[in-house]
Structure formats: structure tokens, C-alpha cells
Amino acid sequence: MTFAFIITGDNHSQDGRYRIAARAAMLSVRHFHPEDRIVCLCDQQTAVSMENSDNVWSGILDEIILCPDATGNPTCRSRFIKTTLRRRISGPLVYLDCDIFLLRDIAPLAACAGDLGLIADTYFTTAPGEFPDWVNPLYRKHGWISTDRYFNSGVMFIADTPDVQRFYENWHERYEMANASGVFKDQPAFNAALAALHPRIIEYPESFNFICGVEPRQVPLSTRVIHLLQSRRTTNMPAYDLLLDELGQNAPLTVEAMVHRLRMSPCQHRSRWYHLLNLYFKFRDVWQQLFPSNL
């Protein structure tokens, strides 16, 4: 199976947080799927930067796929590549955002028998899979159809079939329409294309894409993929940033270090540290196998 990531950005230095996040995600895939292929799609600017730091990616990435037609700021480049992904790679694949981390293998998702293997969004909605209110103006403006499910596009199996090719072309067209309307996100267009084209979807449980964001959530032991949702940074001190600080410093995630930070943090941030402590204790073995020796 091919696991595909997208990296676009302006900072891929040795201490760049984005680089650390992407490497952590890829290392977790390599750990649980050592025989599978990991590829990274990126724009021209990012490809040059990654090639100049080849030692950072050695042993992790099998291939860098250049997308020279991706332009604009890093976010625009990333979502342009994401919505045209099916043009760029042949064969079935599992797509993963860079702000995920595997806590178990995801072989059942990689073995999906449908066109798309998807997980309902649990962050933007009041109940898993419900359509969020904020997309309604965009849908009304373009006459798009909503369904009773709203899926997250950060973790998914993607088959290589004519129906999926058509779906991707439709998704990209709708993404461009959303951009022209001032909505610079790929997921509303993604769900509109699903409702319009009806590809064969196999829905997987939340354990395959457990979204944390910045708000504390209890992480079930059954979780296979934790999605730290870097795109929803609503504070300057989310647990995700603090976690990456630890990884970037090659510092062990010791209980003592985290308790010290907890005590030193303002009261409004303490719940996020409790959330990180909870995550650490539940998945300590995985963290210790991968970090800090591999970063």
C-alpha cells in the first residue's frame, strides 16, 4: 500500500515545527507499516528545500513527487495538490494529513473494498457526521446538496477507479468555486462532491481518525490514528505545539517535565496539559519506541 502525505511550506529547517510534525507522522506510519511505501507530494519550492536536507528524510520517504503547478501561499499549494491528488499517483493509496500520528496499524483502512474509505468529522459538528452550520451559506450560494454525513478529508483510503477520478475532478472544481467565494478550505467542497457523485463509500469508526484539536478530549484505547488538527489553532499554546516543542528538542516526554510545564502554565492552559498527560500515559509505549531517538 502507498501512504501519501503533502508538504508545502516556507520553513523546513532542522528545527522547523512543520518538518517535525510531518516527520513524526511519517515515522509513525513507518513503524506500523514497515514494508509499505511512503510518498510525499510537494511544490517546487518545498521540493528544493527537502532535497537540501535529504538526510532528514532518509529512511522515511520512498519518493518525493513534484507538483510544479501548485502556486500561492503554503495553504493554497497544499489544498491544490490535495484536490488534484488522484491525477498525480496511480494505484490505491491511503492519504494522511501531516498532523496525524498512528497509535496502531491501519491495515483495515488500507484494505478498503470501496472507492473511498472515510471517517465522519467529529470536530466541526455537534454530533459525529452532522453538517456544520458554517458551510450552509456556501452550499446555498452554489446550490450544492448536503447529506446526513459530513466526512473529514484528513485520513482516507482512495481507490484508483474511473468513479474516483471523476470524483476528484468534481472536488477540485468545487474547491476552486469555494476559493472564489472566500472559503479557503477543501472539506466543504469534498462533501459536496460526495453528495453529487455518490462514490462507493465505506465508513470507518472514529478510532481511525480521532480528532483532538486544541480542546481536551479523552482518547479511547481503541484509537488507531490521532488527528491533532493543526489547522484549528485558536490559541498560541495548544497541546500540539507543546508536544512538538518536546520532540524538536529531542527531549524525552518525561512526566516530570510535563508536570513542571503544567504548574508553570496559566490556568486557562492547564486543561490542555492534562489532555497531553492523558495521551502520554495511554500511548507511552508508542512514544518511547519512536521518540526521542528518531527525531
For the stretch 68-122, pLDDT in tens is: 999 888 889 999 999 999 999 999 999 999 888 888 899 999 999 999 999 999 8
Within a 10 A sphere around the Cβ of 206, how many other Cβ atoms? Answer: 20
Instruction: Write the CB contacts of 78 (distance below 8 Å, at least 6 apart in sequence).
Output: 6, 7, 8, 70
Q: Which three cell numbers stand for residue 208?
A: 481511525
**What are the backbone dihedrals phi and psi of residue 208, each rounded to the nearest 5 degrees, phi first?**
-85, -5
Least confident of 47-51, 156-160, 184-188, 249-253: 249-253
Average pLDDT, integer, range 154-178: 98
Least confident of 82-86, 130-134, 290-294: 290-294
- In terms of pLDDT, which residue wins out, 99 or 150? 150
Q: Which CATH architecture has domain 2-210?
A: Alpha-Beta Complex (3.90)
pLDDT of residue 23: 81
Total-model pTM = 0.82
Within a 10 A sphere around the Cβ of 201, how many other Cβ atoms? Answer: 16
pLDDT exceeds cutoff 80 at 163: yes
pLDDT of residue 260: 56
pLDDT of residue 25: 85
Q: Quick one: pLDDT band at residue 228, thresholds 50, 70, 90?
A: confident
pLDDT exceeds cutoff 60 at 127: yes
